[in-house]
Structure 1
């Protein structure tokens, strides 16, 4: 671990994993709707949501996915890392009040590019609700010129 509690690129190993958990509250859903502009009634209107296949209101899929962002930013690689890309496959809805556990696992390290690929998964009560893959740019313990020189030698 580095001084911020996360990992530098040079500290990563394939298979290294971390988790972040959050219970999605009514307040979270309302704030996400306000911040994102996504006012889909399946998230906000109980009467409407009862008529859907879900039978009740559900959290925004991207709100659930944002727990992955927290796992990356706060755990692995951690503070200072930059999100480059993310793929997502939504498997199940998340109900308001459920706890989402995001797990990120290092799949590949691209030292020459200063990046890492992470498997990403979110679960509720042990059931997968979404999965995907992220590419991130972790911090480095090496000065920029040294990193450039090292990548050119490899």
Structure 2
């Protein structure tokens, strides 16, 4: 599916994906990035952290926003300009994350769209809050 142009998007447009975070996801992310922090990959050492269990990498959760913007809204052909993220709660193995973006501003002169980015877990708790700026296809 082709992505949307700026003219095809409206304030309030939304898109989302849902993904259940697995142990495989965490190990794959660690392998791809080199982030082998014990909080993510060592169950025994993670018992010592404030959560008592292994948690997913924050950047893995933020990457779900990348999936939404790259595949759904604005979609294929867009370019990532920036993203800011606040990690509000930890994501655990087995959590199902709902990653959603919403168009909150259109910058016509620069062909940019500003998106509110939110990830929530299966209990509806916000785990990530932020914004992404995208350059949609022309």
TM-score, with normalisation over the residues of structure 2?
Answer: 0.96
- Secondary structure class of the residue paired with 1:117: strand
Correspondences of 1:3-152 after superposition (within 5 Å): 4-125=1-122, 126-140=124-138
> Which segments of structure 1 move beyond 3 Å, counting only runs of 4 or more?
none
TM-score, L = length of structure 1 = 0.86
Q: Which is helix-richer, 1 or 2?
A: 1
d(CA) in 2 for partners of 1:55, 1:22: 23
Shift of residue 36 of structure 1?
A: 0.6
> Rg bigger for which structure?
1
Unmatched tracts of structure 1, length 5 or more: 141-154
Q: Distance in 2 between matches of 1:80 and 1:20?
A: 18
Distance 1:136 1:24 in 2: 26
- Listed as ranges, the gaps of 5+ residues in structure 2 are none
